[in-house]
Amino acid sequence: MKRLFPDNTLLAALIAASVAITACGGGGSDNGGSGNGAPVSNISPAKPANTQDTPASSPSGLTPETPASPPAAASTPAGVDPASGTGTTGGNDTPSPVQAADNTVPIVIDSNVGRVVNMPYVSVTFCVPGKQDASQCTSVDHMLLDTGSVGVRVIASALGAAFGDRLPLQTGASNDSTGKAAIAQCALFASGYTWGSTRAADVTIGKKTASGIPVQLIGDSVFATTPTDCSSRGAGLNTVAALGANGIVGIGHLAQDYPDAARYALPATYYYCPTPSSCTAARVPLDRQTANPVAAFATDNNGTIIRLPMLPPTGRASVTGELVFGIGTRGNNALPSWPTFLAVSDRGAFTSDYKDRTMTSIVDSGSNGLFFPDSTLPVLSGWYMPATLQSLSATMMSNAGNVQSSIGFSIANAQSLFDLGYAAHDNLGAPASAIFIWGLPFFYGRNVYTALSGVQAGTQMGPYVAF
């Protein structure tokens, strides 16, 4: 659900991720899910449009996601080959130009879409399957990079209605006797849902292409009638303004978003639609489900690394980082000598201990704060607002039972941070019940590895999170 507050306050809105937390009743309970394996969503703040802005635009945005210090870059030093880590400088004092490796793309965290905060974005090129000339492709920037969900979802208006119609509709639901009805999807998030058709597209991120994978076209005007068991789950997140992004790039641990939907016609998940206004719950084969693009790459397809710089206590106006494809497949994505490994479930779940309370946890780039229960911290408009900076810690515990890592973190007064008008903060926190979400603040100053399920990724078999 989306928690609304008076116009002169900030609000916290739950947005995009599809992490089924079985220890919390399948993602239901206080985090706004619907039970029965429903996704747990990411979280974003918002400031009403009529709130007084500071010198730049103030952080805002609904969901899951300026002129101060310049952007900080998480990049390879000049004169170093990013693929091998070896020097490329010649015999003079001027370093040779460094070409980005073909398995890396930039991440930007800024306030250019909906005045949001802590929303990591990448750019994606969509092409009609098998067609790579410019007339058959279009690029969309500010796609939310989300380790807590699976699958590519793009807002129809951001893609362009005419281009979206050129992407082939997916058909072939297992319980569709004709095999010809279009497949559509309701993706549930704690703040609501996205609704739209599933279509095939070649999806390119940087220089990596996932050919002909199913994607969700959110807000597809061809399928304007939303089934009631979907629309009853909360607010529609079918516009750029509602989502705070032009779409979502879900790079979690699974290759497809809902494997159980291949066996069961789950409520408010997949549908086959003989007509645009008549849709029935569907069983959908894995190859027709919204797909993780990384798993569909030809190489560097066993996981990802998100690299973001450290932040000062007040944050930064904007940040540039790096998304790296593959783990242990080449020199620029090797695991560190002594990494912390967290064995996780297929949905990324493990446990954390905070103030003698053990609870289900996830590490999720699509959540824009640290979300955990602490009745001693004052709360205003859904965010922690301590009078002074709080230095805290929690212990991550691997599902394998052999790793415990104590993680220190800080929680600042969210109102004071929002007043700065910056896009990046590593000390934002908000209350949650029975769950600890290590959101984007955890990623700053770290290399965070997300390994896919059932594949070898470096020295370990996925799924795991490492840092």
**pLDDT tens-place string over residues 62-117:** 233 322 222 232 223 233 333 333 333 333 333 444 567 999 999 999 999 977 89
105 residue type, one letter: V
**Gap between the Cα atoms of 241 and 155, Å rounded:** 10
The answer to the question of residue 94 being in a domain is no
- The answer to whether 224 and 231 have CB atoms below 8 angstroms apart is no
Which domain does 140 fall in, by range? 120-296
Q: What is the pLDDT of residue 358?
A: 95
**Gap between the Cα atoms of 337 and 358, Å rounded:** 29
Q: What is the pLDDT of residue 333?
A: 97
**Gap between the Cα atoms of 397 and 193, Å rounded:** 31
**pLDDT tens-place string over residues 127-174:** 999 987 888 999 999 999 999 999 999 999 999 989 999 999 999 999
Average pLDDT, integer, range 179-203: 93
Nearest Cα neighbor of 69 from 357, 314, 436, 426 is 314
Q: Domain of 201: which CATH number? A: 2.40.70
**pLDDT tens-place string over residues 220-237:** 999 999 999 999 998 999
The answer to the question of residue 134 being in a domain is yes
Average pLDDT, integer, range 6-34: 31
**Gap between the Cα atoms of 266 and 20, Å rounded:** 14
Counted domains in the chain: 1
The answer to the question of residue 244 being in a domain is yes
Listed in sequence order, the DSSP H helices in 293-423 are: 414-420
Tokens of 272: 């086959």
Q: What is the pLDDT of residue 32?
A: 33
The answer to the question of residue 40 being in a domain is no
The answer to the question of residue 260 being in a domain is yes
Q: What is the pLDDT of residue 190?
A: 67
The answer to the question of residue 230 being in a domain is yes
The answer to the question of residue 141 being in a domain is yes
| Cα distances (Å, whole numbers) of residue 107 to 305, 339, 444 | 11, 23, 12
The answer to the question of residue 186 being in a domain is yes
Residue 182 has pLDDT above 60, yes or no: yes
